[in-house]
C-alpha cells in the first residue's frame, strides 16, 4: 500500500516521540513491502515562532493533501504560564480539527498484561479493562463564543451543540458498541446543562435504531468515580468535548502512565492520530519521554487503513519490550533506557510473525466503512 503521511511533531516532547513512531512505520514498510511517504510541517508554539500563527496555511494545505496525519504534542510553558496571551499554541490544534472536520476523538483504554502491577489501582479492579471513549471534538465549550469584560473581571465561554453535531458521532459510537460488547454509556450533566439534555434526547432517539445495544446515561461526576471503582463495566463511552477531554486523561491513570495510550481524531474525509499525553515541556530533549503512546497511535493509523496484520506486528513488539523491561522511567524507575532506545528496540522487533498475543484496536470503529 502507498500512503502519504503528514508529520506534525509540534512542541515539547512531540518531535522525540513522533520520531519513534516513524521508526516503526518504516520497519512496517520494509517488513510488509509497503511504501509510505512522509512530509513534515509545523504547528503550535514552534509554528508561532516561525510564522506568527499556530497553524500556518501551508501546514493546513499539506494536511489536506495527505492520506493521514501523525501528530506529536502541542503547548509550552511560555504560554501555559501566561494568562494574558492572546494567541496560544493549542489554538492551532483546535483550528486544525475544525478545518478538517475531525469531529470524533476515539480513545481506547486497555492495559498490557505486563503493566497490571504498574497501575495505581488494584490489579483485581483493572484486570480485563477494555473500553473506548468517543469524544465529540469540534463543538461545545472549546469552540463557543468567548467574552471578557472591558475591565477584565468577568469572563464567559459559550457551550453550544446542534442536533447534527451530536448525531454524527452518536452513530459512530453505536456502531462501535454494536461490534464490541453492545453497551453504550453517555456521560453528561443533564441535571444542570441544557446542552446535556439535548444530547440525551438525540442519543435516545438514535438508540431506537440500535436495539441490540444497551444504552445508559451517567452524570459526569459519577462517571469519573465509576471509572476508578470499576472500569470493567464500560464498553463504549460517548460524551461531549469538555467531559471527554477530562475523562480520557483520567482513564490513562488506569494504565499507570499517560505515555501508554493512543488516540484517533476522525472525520468524513480526514484522520489524525496522536498520543493521549501533553507536551511535557520539562522533558524536552532529555530522552526520557515514553514513546509508546505515539507508537500505538501509528498502530491505530494502520488499523484505519485495514493493515491489521502490520498493526499487530507493532503491538507484539511493544509487548516484547514491556516484558523485557525495555521502557522509560515512568514505567520502570530503575530503567536506563531512553526514548530513542525504546523506539529502536520496538522497531527492530517488528516482524511478520504468527504470534498469538491478542491486543488490538481493530474493533473500535476505525475502519473507513464506519465513517458517516
Q: Which residues lie closer than 8 Å to 307 by C-beta, 6 or more apart?
A: 1, 28, 32, 34
Q: Which of 78, 118, 189, 329 is an active site residue?
A: 189
Q: For this structure, is 221 an active site residue?
A: yes
Q: Which of 49, 157, 221, 269 is an active site residue?
A: 221
Q: Which of 245, 270, 319, 337 is an active site residue?
A: 245
φ, ψ at 213 (rounded to 5°): -100, 125
Dist CA 205 CA 64 (whole Å): 34
Q: For this structure, is 142 an active site residue?
A: yes
DSSP 231: G
Q: Are 265 and 102 in contact (CB under 8 A)?
A: yes
> Count of CB atoms within 10 A of residue 236's CB?
27
Nearest 5°: the CA angle 284, 286, 287 is: 105
Q: For this structure, is 249 an active site residue?
A: yes
Q: Which of 67, 80, 130, 249 is an active site residue?
A: 249
> Count of CB atoms within 10 A of residue 10's CB?
28
Q: Which of 79, 134, 142, 161 is an active site residue?
A: 142
Q: Are 270 and 372 in contact (CB under 8 A)?
A: no
Q: For this structure, is 337 an active site residue?
A: no
Dist CA 95 CA 158 (whole Å): 17
Q: Are 262 and 364 in contact (CB under 8 A)?
A: no
Q: For this structure, is 320 an active site residue?
A: no
> Which residue numbers are catalytic?
142, 189, 221, 245, 249
Amino acid at each position: 500500500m502507498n500512503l502519504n503521511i503528514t508529520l506534525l511533531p509540534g512542541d515539547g516532547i512531540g518531535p522525540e516521540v513522533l520520531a519513534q513512531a516513524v521508526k516503526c512505520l518504516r520497519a512496517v514498510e520494509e517488513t510488509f513491502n509497503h511504501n509510505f511517504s512522509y512530509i513534515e510541517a509545523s504547528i503550535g508554539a514552534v509554528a508561532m515562532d516561525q510564522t506568527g500563527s499556530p497553524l500556518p496555511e501551508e501546514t493546513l494545505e499539506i494536511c489536506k493533501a495527505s492520506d493521514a496525519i501523525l501528530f506529536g504534542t502541542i503547548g509550552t510553558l511560555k504560554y501555559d504560564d501566561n494568562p494574558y496571551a492572546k494567541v496560544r499554541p493549542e489554538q492551532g490544534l483546535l483550528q486544525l480539527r475544525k478545518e478538517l472536520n475531525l469531529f470524533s476523538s476515539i480513545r481506547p483504554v486497555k492495559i498490557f498484561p505486563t503493566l497490571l502491577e504498574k497501575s495505581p489501582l488494584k490489579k483485581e479492579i483493572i484486570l480485563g479493562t477494555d473500553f473506548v471513549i468517543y469524544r465529540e471534538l469540534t463543538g461545545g465549550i472549546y469552540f463557543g463564543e468567548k467574552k471578557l469584560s472591558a475591565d477584565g473581571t468577568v469572563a464567559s465561554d459559550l457551550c453550544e451543540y446542534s442536533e447534527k453535531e451530536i448525531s454524527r458521532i452518536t452513530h459512530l459510537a453505536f456502531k462501535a458498541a454494536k461490534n464490541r460488547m453492545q453497551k453504550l454509556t453517555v456521560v453528561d450533566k443533564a441535571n444542570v446543562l441544557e446542552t446535556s439534555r439535548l444530547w440525551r434526547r438525540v442519543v435516545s432517539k438514535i438508540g431506537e435504531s440500535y436495539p441490540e445495544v444497551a444504552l445508559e446515561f451517567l452524570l459526569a461526576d459519577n462517571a469519573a468515580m465509576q471509572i476508578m471503582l470499576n472500569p470493567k463495566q464500560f464498553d463504549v463511552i460517548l460524551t461531549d468535548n469538555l467531559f471527554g477531554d477530562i475523562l480520557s486523561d483520567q482513564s490513562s491513570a488506569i494504565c499507570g502512565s499517560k505515555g501508554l495510550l493512543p488516540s484517533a481524531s476522525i472525520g468524513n474525509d480526514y484522520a489524525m492520530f496522536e498520543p493521549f499525553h501533553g507536551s511535557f515541556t520539562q522533558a524536552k530533549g532529555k530522552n526520557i519521554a515514553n514513546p509508546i503512546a505515539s507508537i500505538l497511535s501509528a498502530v491505530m493509523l494502520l488499523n484505519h487503513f485495514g493493515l491489521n496484520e502490520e498493526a499487530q506486528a507493532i503491538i507484539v513488539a511493544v509487548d516484547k519490550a514491556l516484558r523485557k523491561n525495555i521502557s522509560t522511567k515512568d514505567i520502570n524507575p530503575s530503567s536506563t533506557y531512553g526514548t530513542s532506545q525504546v523506539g529502536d528496540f520496538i522497531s527492530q522487533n517488528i516482524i511478520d510473525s504468527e504470534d498469538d498475543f491478542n491486543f488490538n484496536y481493530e474493533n473500535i470503529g476505525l475502519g473507513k466503512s464506519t465513517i458517516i
